[in-house]
Amino acid sequence: MKFLVTLLLLAGAHFALTAIVPAPAGKAWILWPFATDTQVSLHLAGEGTANVTKLLSVIAGVCFLAAIMALFGWLFPAEWWGVLVGIGSIASLALYLLFLSSWVIIPIIIDLFLLWGLIFAHWSAAMLRGM
């Protein structure tokens, strides 16, 4: 299970961070959901939207990567794992809802699955490590 959750957290970080390094215009696809021409779903525009996008992307990506480190006992305490996954998933979901398209369906499913595991299956770093 630890391996699956690690892969999901890596995928979550990857998808979220593609908003900072978007693909060229017209080149968004299932593994790189953001391109330079990706439109905001709420028809908002301006510098504020760009800043919120970067902020949500960085929060989600950093939290997911830190959660992986906490899961393996590197640099972050295992007790932080749930908080990091929760914050990362919520920031990531907010990012994808801001840019809702068919390309963000898989990242949304990953976020929802991580939240499900955290809230309903009561995943913890200790449980996933088998301790």
Would you kindly state where each structural domain of the chain is located, as residue ranges?
2-129
pLDDT in tens, 15-34: 999 999 999 999 999 999 99
Quote the pLDDT of residue 40.
Answer: 85
pLDDT in tens, 49-76: 888 999 999 999 999 999 999 999 999 9
Q: What is the reported pTM?
A: 0.93
What integer is the mean pLDDT of 85-106? 95
* Collapsed DSSP state (helix, strand, coil) of residue 81: helix
Burial 75-105 (b: 16+ CB within 10 A, else e): ebebebbbebbbbbbbbbbbbbebbeeebbe
Quote the pLDDT of residue 44.
Answer: 65
Tokens of 125: 């770093």
Q: How far is CA 18 from CA 78, 92, 106, 130, in A?
A: 27, 11, 14, 32
More confident residue, 8 or 43: 8
pLDDT in tens, 79-90: 999 999 999 999
Q: How far is CA 47 from the centre of its chain?
A: 22
| pLDDT at residue 12 is higher than 90 | yes
| pLDDT at residue 120 is higher than 60 | yes
What integer is the mean pLDDT of 107-124? 97
Using CA atoms, how far apart are residues 128 and 4, in angstroms rounded to an integer?
10
Quote the pLDDT of residue 119.
Answer: 96
* Collapsed DSSP state (helix, strand, coil) of residue 35: strand
Q: Which of 75, 66, 67, 83 is nearest to 128 (CA)?
A: 67
